[in-house]
Structure 1
């Protein structure tokens, strides 16, 4: 029996292993990096990341894995098996971790707490991952380049860039991805399923992150702040995006030309100009677009729907961006500031346009002559001279 928590077992070796959860001892060391583990089996799995060995293969689709347990998890994508059943509702899950997270919704139990900031979570693994935000430790090292990651899921995604491995495939449209969660999200574009429900209004969403954005509208909470200009936001990702207006960082590069973008969505829109691909079509008028969000916006021109409501007056809008711009009328908030001259504006696009007065950048180019301009609408007017 464990003297710390009362855990009991029939085997001394199991008790010794259990005690390491209290002492933090990790006697099994990797001889190729700084990784260490409490269990030999964990070290063996880690070593496979250095060797690239994946001995376990799926007979259905050829997917390969370094761990037998990962192959078992993968097989459920073919069989649809969900062995973990909730005894309080009709929920079932293919994986125990998903099941444990679900159970916490019934109990509200979050036993693992961060001593630095008070963050609480249902899973010990999530607390370990959270702690790296304080320590900046990135234990997962790529053996093929100098990339390192704080999370194994991020590391696995990076490795897929080297191997080209995309084991998860949609049977509807042959879409392939490296992440099972991406496939689950993708399938909702076919089914229309929106499982995430807001408990304060009738809003529902296909993705949890989208629901979290909706909830922030109810609470008004904006915990993330820019140290440069005081801009505040409800989302960490939005703050990261905002910071690029100060740094000018554009990490997303086009491999067909010299275009680069601050945001992945902007790069995806740009790539559609090279391919001409417009997979999203309006059933009413045949309008086609490269972006699903653009199609959703367009459909509202037919339905007249204006789902974005102002809670301070009777204004409503077809697009969330229009509502945010309107809210600035009430608050007077101008979060976007030019680092060159101090100009402030309520709109990010207006700041981007303003910055061109400093840089001289003219990104809108005529494909019939050498004319270029800083503003898209000016290019549209220019095209009329060629007609």
Structure 2
């Protein structure tokens, strides 16, 4: 249950708990809280455990230069660290640190890992049950792994053929497509959740974690079927907020392990990444002729430039250009693969 915010003792006046309390009052997502706290701690350790109030703009610049020149971090990593420190000083400590001067990290454009349709099909053939359905949803709907595992029963709308993504990246809600071919499997999964939930209620459990103030606003929702996770964990565990035993969603490491095994079994010589199925979803839609704006909305990108990365990996024969090699007529046996090494085919 590491995606549930643990409680912060109100009487704690220590620096990091106070920062966490401020972030939560600002309404930022828990993932943002974790990221900001991580970078603030690294900044403090870099400055030999001195209190941030005793540090200033020059110390921030030195830390950001260190990340770029000594740690060889990406531009995105440096920007995240900068955002965390700007929040720390401007919003939490109310100290102006504008006009920072530092060396920007080198901009490396990393192309996403994309599986071909044949590779996706082969990987799926080595998955079974709920794990196969999870990967099918990431590929068929463009879901991030965290979004997939956070789905509740109520988020599957068979009537409108939509999947509702709640609190995605940037704490934003959106809808994406519900593949019609997955409807029977989803109905079976919901029936399984229904039976498991009934057993949990009988055993004295059954209350699921509810985000933010929903638990106080809708006290009966926690034990309703609609709010149960679509992919529940195999065991119940203590809620870090209250200590109440409840069933959370499947842990991402369990899915990652199944994907690694399936990719290896399929003989696919590409990194085994859950996120690669989301990349493949976007790339294959682009190949099918759908416009970038539509794909941007389905993926939940706030900036079209993020979606444009897929134009660099779309299967159009080198940006639509036919190689001169492909215009040549075959020369005969000399082009046999083993002939290059002096070995008879």
| TM-score calculated relative to the size of structure 2 | 0.21
Larger % of helix: which?
Answer: 2
| TM-score calculated relative to the size of structure 1 | 0.19
Give the structure, 1 or 2, with the largest relative contact order (CA under 8 Å, sep 6 or more): 2
